[in-house]
């Protein structure tokens, strides 16, 4: 079974394309469910004017018929509404419709922190727009579409993926006293977070986060933060200890680090585990094979333990500053101020939705690798057989 996904599209190009291959046939899907996830990604206090222009929705291009997947590659298209205003800038033809000369909106003053400079040098371009159009986090809309299909697959097995913001602009939810794996996990994962403008579960922290976003906006600055991503209902044994590239924790970290502006990933206690003694880190095993705690955050040996998967994802502040940092104009070599493009003050709440999508993609891949099946019915039989095997292997054990 080949599971793979890819995206294509520039931020102000005609649109984004998402291709997801390896889904079994017979999975019920609907554009409404995918679009609901796209809408969640567009939200969050601190987003810029672009999100007022767009209304991200998919069009099915391939792989779905009569509300069910066919087992063939699924292709989805998201049009960029803003393209209308960028047709001459982004035209694929050698001559822009406006006719001849230099294209408008060239970028020659690279933004520190963005892909502009390294990309312009590496790809031997004169205009950093050739780089930033693809490096833009707009591409993550296509990832969220693929992740949404994976969420529908996971849902068939009672697996739920959600997220919430635990830190933004230096403000920590819960007073900062808690660590991953000790925060109470809400039961309907996203309901409460989605009701908050910053997707935070702590109303006091939410107020302070909003105040910091307003202050950063006034100062022409940007803010980063941390989200916690949780997956519930996982079976024991996804991923494997046997080879480095089959370890699920490593694959999750790679997938999450690939999100634009993400600089760190923690699983369970994460870095805090390095500061504690072993007796204060590992999760004791109780009769019936329950765990006393879940400090590991849901994996041991690169495999799921059956406990909730708890990841933390850190995002740096967006690198487009309205009060720009120093740079060099690549045309003249002279010191300059970095180019300001319309952007967001913060996109941490949206990053949580993107992180959910990446986790859903990795979990769906791990499920399909372990259980296989060309049809959903086959996958369901395989999962049921495995779960029965695990149950039979589990000693009943009286409480001590
Ligand atoms: C984004 C769309 C972009 C940016 C953002 C992500 O729209 P525009 O460039 O037209 O304002 O808001 O991209 C960045 C923050 C970045 O640094 O590239 C989106 O759809 O998420």
Q: Is 233 in the pocket of ligand 1 (CB under 6 A)?
A: no
Judge whether 175 lies within some domain.
yes
**What share of the chain in percent tops pLDDT 90?**
90
Is this structure's pTM higher than 0.75?
Answer: yes
Q: Which of 41, 42, 46, 48 to mutate to test the pocket of ligand 1 (most atoms within 8 A of CB)?
A: 48
Which two three-digit tokens encode residue 300?
Answer: 């041991």
**pLDDT value of residue 102:** 82
Q: At what angle do helices 348-371 and 376-393 cross, to 10 degrees?
A: 80
Summarize pLDDT for 155-175 with one digit per residue, the tens. 999 999 999 999 999 999 986
Q: Which of 39, 339, 344 to mutate to test the pocket of ligand 1 (most atoms within 8 A of CB)?
A: 344
Q: Is 320 in the pocket of ligand 1 (CB under 6 A)?
A: yes
Average pLDDT over residues 11-24: 98
Summarize pLDDT for 332-369 with one digit per residue, the tens. 999 999 998 788 999 999 999 999 999 999 999 999 99
Q: Mean pLDDT across the chain, nearest whole number? A: 94
Q: Poorest-confidence range of 12-16, 99-103, 234-238, 379-383? A: 99-103
**pLDDT value of residue 342:** 86
Inform me whether the pLDDT recorded for 177 exceeds 50: no
Inform me whether the pLDDT recorded for 400 exceeds 50: no
**pLDDT value of residue 280:** 97
**pLDDT value of residue 99:** 58
Judge whether 396 lies within some domain.
no
How far does residue 195's CA lie from ligand 1's centre (Å)?
23
Judge whether 48 lies within some domain.
yes
Summarize pLDDT for 94-133 with one digit per residue, the tens. 875 565 678 899 999 999 999 999 999 999 999 999 999 9
Judge whether 355 lies within some domain.
yes
Q: Please return the burial class of 233, using the count of CB atoms within 10 Å of its CB with bins 0-12, 13-18 and 19+.
A: middle
Inform me whether the pLDDT recorded for 186 exceeds 90: no
How far does residue 324's CA lie from ligand 1's centre (Å)?
17
Inform me whether the pLDDT recorded for 397 exceeds 90: no
Higher-confidence residue: 72 or 184?
72
Q: Which atom of ligand 1 is nearest to the CA of 132?
A: 18
**pLDDT value of residue 234:** 97
How far does residue 164's CA lie from ligand 1's centre (Å)?
21
Confidence band, pLDDT 50/70/90 cuts, at residue 283 = very high
How far does residue 317's CA lie from ligand 1's centre (Å)?
13
Inform me whether the pLDDT recorded for 4 exceeds 90: yes
Q: Which helix or strand (DSSP H or E) is residue 64 part of? A: strand 64-65
**pLDDT value of residue 183:** 57
Judge whether 397 lies within some domain.
no
**Residue-by-residue DSSP string for 299-322:** EETTEE-SSPEEEEEEEPPPS--S
**pLDDT value of residue 10:** 98
**pLDDT value of residue 181:** 46
**What share of the chain in percent tops pLDDT 70?**
95
Q: Is 341 in the pocket of ligand 1 (CB under 6 A)?
A: yes
Task: Work out how many domains the chain is built from and give that number.
Answer: 1
Judge whether 399 lies within some domain.
no
Q: What φ, ψ does residue 225 adopt, rounded to 5°?
A: 175, -170
Judge whether 208 lies within some domain.
yes
Inform me whether the pLDDT recorded for 226 exceeds 80: yes
Which two three-digit tokens encode residue 184?
Answer: 């109470």
Q: Is 339 in the pocket of ligand 1 (CB under 6 A)?
A: no
Judge whether 201 lies within some domain.
yes
Domain that holds residue 234: 4-93+100-389
Q: Is 304 in the pocket of ligand 1 (CB under 6 A)?
A: no
The protein residue with its alpha carbon nearest to ligand 1, atom 16, reads 136
Contacts of 311 by beta carbon, 8 Å cutoff, 6+ apart: 180, 228, 229, 230, 252, 256, 265, 266, 267, 297, 355, 359
Q: What is the domain-level CATH number for residue 176?
A: 3.60.150.10
Q: Is 113 in the pocket of ligand 1 (CB under 6 A)?
A: no
Inform me whether the pLDDT recorded for 1 exceeds 60: no
How far does residue 341's CA lie from ligand 1's centre (Å)?
9
Do residues 155 and 360 make contact, with C-beta atoms less than 8 angstroms apart? no
What are the Cα distances from residue 229, in Å, to 121, 183, 243, 301? Answer: 35, 12, 25, 20
**pLDDT value of residue 95:** 72
Inform me whether the pLDDT recorded for 64 exceeds 60: yes
**pLDDT value of residue 185:** 73
Inform me whether the pLDDT recorded for 182 exceeds 60: no
**pLDDT value of residue 358:** 98
Confidence band, pLDDT 50/70/90 cuts, at residue 396 = confident
Q: Which of 39, 50, 86 to mutate to test the pocket of ligand 1 (most atoms within 8 A of CB)?
A: 50
Q: Please return the burial class of 28, using the count of CB atoms within 10 Å of its CB with bins 0-12, 13-18 and 19+.
A: middle
Confidence band, pLDDT 50/70/90 cuts, at residue 322 = very high
């Amino acid at each position: 079974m080949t599971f793979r996904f890819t995206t294509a599209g520039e931020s102000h190009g005609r649109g984004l394309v998402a291709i997801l291959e390896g889904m079994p046939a017979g999975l019920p899907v609907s554009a409404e469910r995918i679009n609901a996830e796209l809408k969640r990604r567009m939200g969050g206090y601190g987003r810029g004017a672009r999100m007022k222009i767009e209304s991200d929705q998919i069009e099915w291009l391939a792989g779905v018929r009569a509300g069910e997947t066919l087992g063939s590659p699924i292709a989805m298209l998201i049009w960029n509404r803003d393209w209308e205003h960028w047709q001459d800038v982004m035209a694929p033809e050698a001559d822009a419709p406006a006719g001849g000369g230099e294209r408008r909106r060239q970028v020659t003053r690279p933004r520190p922190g963005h892909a502009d400079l390294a990309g312009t040098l590496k790809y031997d371009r004169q205009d950093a727009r050739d780089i930033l159009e693809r490096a833009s986090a707009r591409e993550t809309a296509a990832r969220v579409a693929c992740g949404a299909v994976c969420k529908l697959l996971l849902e068939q097995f009672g697996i739920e993926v959600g997220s919430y913001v635990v830190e933004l602009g230096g403000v920590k939810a819960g007073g900062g006293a808690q660590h991953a794996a000790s925060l109470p996990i809400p039961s309907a994962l996203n309901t409460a977070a989605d009701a908050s403008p910053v997707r935070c579960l702590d109303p006091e922290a939410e107020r302070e986060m909003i105040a910091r976003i307003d202050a950063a906006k006034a100062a022409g600055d940007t803010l980063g933060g941390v989200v916690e991503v949780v997956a519930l209902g996982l079976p024991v044994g996804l991923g494997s200890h046997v080879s480095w590239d089959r370890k699920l924790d490593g694959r999750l970290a790679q997938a999450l680090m690939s999100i634009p502006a993400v600089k760190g990933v923690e699983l369970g206690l994460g870095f805090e585990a390095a500061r504690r003694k072993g007796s204060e880190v590992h999760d004791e095993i109780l009769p019936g094979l329950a765990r006393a705690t879940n400090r590991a955050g849901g994996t041991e040996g690169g495999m799921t333990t059956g406990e909730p998967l708890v990841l933390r994802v850190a995002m740096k502040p967006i690198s487009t500053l309205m009060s720009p940092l120093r740079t060099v104009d690549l045309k003249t070599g002279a010191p300059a101020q970095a180019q300001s493009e319309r952007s967001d003050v913060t996109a941490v709440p949206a990053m949580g939705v993107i992180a959910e999508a990446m986790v859903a993609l990795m979990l769906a891949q791990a499920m399909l690798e372990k259980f296989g099946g060309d049809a959903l019915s086959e996958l369901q039989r395989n999962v049921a057989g495995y779960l029965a095997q695990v149950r039979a292997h589990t000693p009943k054990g009286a409480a001590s």
